[in-house]
Chain A
């Protein structure tokens, strides 16, 4: 949550471009990383991030804070854009929040040292083996840096259930990776 977010949203809704710019700055990186983690390709993640913010700009006038937190609203747009992308490509006609989707392979820093890169690949390979719900928690908590309460809302589960999924996902990775990390 951005400080004074409600005020910034109101200003953006009244057409103040600087206010929308503040929201963009607050959320762009988180949205982009979430999408990169989910779709697996930098170019796709950039195209989708662009579509997300265009959609947000078009629809911000209809956003109502009492219904859902702004971040959940924005990540819902991101999810819908991703579903549309997969539909257009006929790769996956239907995707729910908990369905299996590929993980990011294409956003590693090219200057990374080989050893680190291999370690990252091993970790990502293990993340892919987690359950769909555990992966979604990893996407929202670690890539999108969303608070527990908002993840719970986005996944329609209790906060306790999200904390349990987060713990079990990381514990599972620890068991599988042993001393590699």
Chain B
């Protein structure tokens, strides 16, 4: 038996154990090296146990929520660029504001954008969202942004559910409902104004003059289909995430989650009716 061969046998055994074979099954397979292998494997399994530092699952889940919320935000910014089409001047205005915010405190702006409701930076996040919503270059872009913010609220509700914060869930649920109302009114606006420049404002965007709803070169029927798809995706995401959070929730949190879900689904129905 060469030393090299023993290297291979030892490694093969480790692989078999990793795949779920028992120590005995492995030793039986290499019965000629049983004595040597059993001592090596005993040490190897002990090392494996010692280096398996226990993971703090709460930390792991919180980090995941923050990462995915950040990714969803990025994805919707990409969508916004596509949707806003040729409205370059308005788009430049939004980019300028974002750049000013970033230049004035890039790391704070980033930290705020991923802040959860229990963070001191959370109010900055909400203010930043309001500003971006007001400066959206078109009603369609505004709808897209608000839809992205509904995803953020859903992630925050899931985060609070993991922390057992039923009161926090109710508070964020109210924000979520406000977004969904804004979504419905924004959609209603984009689908009923197709031909003329319009200066009408929704209550939530009072003081902001909205441009005409028809996006340059975009057929309104296609636009409605797109809106319906986006709404369905966001609603499915909401139900999937909140249903997932309900599974291990305490009774108080469960009730808060169910109320949040019922209110949000009702608002989605209203928004979808606006599209039709």
Task: Report B-chain residues with C-beta under 8 Å of the C-beta of A2.
Answer: none
Contact of B51 among A50, A138, A160, A174 (CB under 8 A): A138
Indicate whether A73 reaches chain B with its CB closer than 8 angstroms.
no
Listed stretches A24-32, A62-70, A82-90, A92-100; interface member: A24-32
Indicate whether A6 reaches chain B with its CB closer than 8 angstroms.
no
CA distance A16 to B46 in the complex (A): 39
Task: Report B-chain residues with C-beta under 8 Å of the C-beta of A139.
Answer: 51
Q: How far, in Å, is A11 (CB) from chain B's closest CB?
A: 12
Contact of B47 among A29, A33, A42, A173 (CB under 8 A): A173
Find residues 83-125 in chain A having any chain B CB closer than 8 Å to their own CB. Answer: 104, 107, 109, 120, 123-124
Indicate whether B42 reaches chain A with its CB closer than 8 angstroms.
yes
Contact of B70 among A16, A57, A170, A173 (CB under 8 A): A57
Indicate whether B78 reaches chain A with its CB closer than 8 angstroms.
yes
Tell me the dominant secondary structure on chain B's binding face: helix
Contact of A28 among B14, B48, B55, B78 (CB under 8 A): B55
Task: Report A-chain residues with C-beta under 8 Å of the C-beta of B78.
Answer: 15
Task: Report A-chain residues with C-beta under 8 Å of the C-beta of B7.
Answer: 160, 163-164, 166-167
Indicate whether A1 reaches chain B with its CB closer than 8 angstroms.
no
Contact check, B67 vs A57: say whether CB atoms are below 8 A apart. Answer: yes
Listed stretches B58-66, B86-94, B192-200; interface member: B58-66
Task: Report B-chain residues with C-beta under 8 Å of the C-beta of A74.
Answer: none
Count how many pairs of residues, one from A and one from B, have CB atoms less than 8 Å apart in the complex: 109
Indicate whether B99 reaches chain A with its CB closer than 8 angstroms.
no
Contact check, A15 vs B53: say whether CB atoms are below 8 A apart. Answer: no
Indicate whether B56 reaches chain A with its CB closer than 8 angstroms.
yes
Enumerate chain A interface residues (CB-CB to B < 8 A). Answer: 15-18, 20-21, 24-25, 28-29, 32-33, 36-37, 42, 45-46, 49-50, 53-54, 57, 104, 107, 109, 120, 123-124, 127, 138-139, 141-143, 145, 148, 160, 163-164, 166-167, 170-171, 173-174, 177, 181
Could you list 22 examples of A-B contacts with CB < 8 Å?
Answer: A15-B74, A15-B75, A16-B75, A17-B75, A21-B64, A24-B67, A33-B55, A46-B56, A49-B63, A57-B67, A57-B71, A107-B54, A123-B47, A138-B47, A138-B51, A143-B53, A163-B8, A164-B4, A166-B14, A167-B3, A167-B7, A170-B47
